[in-house]
């Protein structure tokens, strides 16, 4: 009897195919008539384990994953069931990119940003293999985020302007808008602001010869012909400075606005006795086209020369002349 009981016990253990530590009522899954598995009648809730069945996993049978019937031995790691088509270039946690609904990757841009490179502008229209060029189109090895590592050929081949000869930075974002769609240049011309009338010209309008850094930031280096041709007033004859910004703004048209430097360079007209006493330049500069000439006596008229002579009776060699006035009254005071 003891021998028979022992054999029965061994036989019962031998018939336990799901692992010794797998404890469950067989009737949860099996039908007593033949021990077949009736999936429609099974009351086992896989959510009670550490691996809930949802999405595409919900339509699988136990044997699809538990291929050896040892349910305890099954791993919950994706890689234990799914071939790594990415060859470990993105790690082995499939859940970082995929969900179980369709296995499709829905947020490629967000995932790419998490990995250190924002796909915006022209980069957002590229397909993976445009940058990840290995033989396996699904092996996305980590790439450099330096522009030149992908755009070296573009940099070397560009001739208008010649990037190499001009000594341009290999950091493309110095000049180009990485968030645009056509890589247009939006060069921050910090050493010489491209604003107003300077916004229109192309690089070669000012940089007549390469390399570009040879262009001078001095106004007259580009506008000498304009300076010499100006006759209302005649800039050269009037002795105007060749630093155009002394009088002009960079607004389109290059209109002259306030000439506040007149007080320091020539004669105080925005301060002192003459502040507010004039309406236009020609009130004093009465010779059209030549601002080197000026008149004091046209404004400071004296009907009685005798009175004027009395005021200057202590001035030797006194003459009633504009240049003489200026010599004695360089600041316009009495």
The reply to whether 157 falls in a domain is no
Q: Last residue of a domain, which of 76, 102, 124?
A: 76
The reply to whether 151 falls in a domain is no
- The answer to whether residues 102 and 123 belong to one domain is yes
Residue 259: what pLDDT? 78
The alpha helices in the chain, defined as continuous H runs, are 2-14, 62-65, 108-114, 128-131, 147-157, 203-206, 219-229, 262-265, 305-311, 322-328
Separation of alpha carbons 292 and 239, rounded Å:
6
Residue 186: what pLDDT? 60
Q: What is the mean pLDDT of the chain?
A: 81
Residue 225: what pLDDT? 93
The reply to whether 53 falls in a domain is yes
**Full domain range(s) for residue 121:** 86-143
3-state secondary structure of 56: helix
- The answer to whether residues 25 and 66 belong to one domain is yes
Beta carbons within 8 Å of 288's beta carbon, 6+ residues apart: 232, 233, 282
Separation of alpha carbons 84 and 330, rounded Å:
89
pLDDT tens string 236-247: 887 888 888 888
- The answer to whether residues 97 and 139 belong to one domain is yes
Q: Last residue of a domain, which of 76, 106, 125?
A: 76
Separation of alpha carbons 324 and 316, rounded Å:
12
User: 38 falls in which pLDDT band (50, 70, 90)?
Assistant: low
The reply to whether 274 falls in a domain is no
The reply to whether 238 falls in a domain is no
pLDDT above 60 for 60: yes
User: 210 falls in which pLDDT band (50, 70, 90)?
Assistant: low
pLDDT above 80 for 309: no
Residue 224: what pLDDT? 93
**DSSP count for the chain of H helices, then E strands:** 10, 0
Token reading at 1: 């009897």
Separation of alpha carbons 331 and 334, rounded Å:
9
Judged by average pLDDT, the poorest of 86-100, 174-188, 268-282 is 174-188
The percentage of the chain sitting over the pLDDT mark of 70, rounded to a whole number, equals 90
Q: How many structural domains is the chain composed of? A: 2
pLDDT above 60 for 11: no
User: 227 falls in which pLDDT band (50, 70, 90)?
Assistant: very high
Residue 7: what pLDDT? 37
CA 165 to mean position of chain CA atoms: 24
The reply to whether 134 falls in a domain is yes
Q: Last residue of a domain, which of 96, 112, 143?
A: 143
Distance from first CA to last CA of the chain, Å, rounded? 143
pLDDT above 80 for 8: no
Q: Between the CA of residue 48 and those of 16, 70, 100, 263, what are the distances in Å?
A: 21, 17, 18, 90
Residue 23: what pLDDT? 79
Q: Which of 279, 283, 284, 262 is nearest to 271 (CA)?
A: 262
The reply to whether 159 falls in a domain is no
- The answer to whether residues 40 and 68 belong to one domain is yes
Separation of alpha carbons 251 and 197, rounded Å:
5
């Amino acid at each position: 009897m003891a021998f028979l009981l022992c054999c029965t016990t061994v036989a019962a253990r031998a018939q336990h195919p799901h692992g010794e530590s797998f404890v469950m009522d067989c009737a949860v899954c099996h039908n007593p008539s033949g021990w077949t598995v009736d999936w429609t009648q099974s009351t086992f809730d896989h959510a009670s384990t550490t691996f809930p069945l949802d999405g595409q996993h919900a339509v699988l049978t136990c044997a699809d994953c538990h291929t050896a019937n040892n349910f305890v031995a099954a791993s919950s790691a994706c890689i234990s069931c799914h071939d790594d088509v990415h060859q470990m270039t993105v790690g082995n946690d499939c859940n970082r990119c995929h969900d179980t609904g369709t296995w499709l990757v829905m947020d490629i841009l967000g995932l790419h940003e998490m990995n250190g490179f924002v796909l915006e502008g022209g980069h957002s229209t590229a397909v993976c293999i445009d940058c990840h060029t290995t033989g396996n189109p699904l092996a996305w090895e980590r790439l450099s985020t330096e522009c030149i590592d992908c755009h070296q050929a573009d940099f070397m081949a560009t001739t208008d302007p010649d990037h190499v000869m001009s000594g341009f930075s290999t950091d493309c974002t110095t000049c180009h808008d990485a968030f645009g769609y056509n890589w247009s240049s939006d060069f921050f011309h910090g050493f010489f602001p491209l604003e107003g009338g300077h916004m229109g010209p192309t690089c070669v309008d000012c940089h007549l010869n390469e390399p570009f850094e040879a262009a001078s930031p001095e106004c007259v280096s580009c506008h000498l012909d304009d300076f010499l041709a100006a006759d209302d007033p005649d800039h050269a004859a009037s002795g105007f400075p060749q630093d155009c910004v002394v009088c002009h703004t960079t607004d389109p048209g290059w209109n002259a606005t306030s000439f506040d430097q007149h007080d320091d360079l020539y004669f105080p007209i925005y301060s002192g006795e003459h502040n507010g006493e004039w309406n236009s330049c020609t009130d004093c500069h009465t010779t059209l086209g030549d601002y080197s000439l000026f008149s004091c006596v046209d404004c400071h008229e004296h009907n009685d020369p005798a009175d004027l002579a009395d005021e200057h009776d202590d001035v030797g060699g006194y003459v009633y002349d504009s240049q003489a006035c200026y010599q004695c009254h360089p600041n316009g005071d009495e």
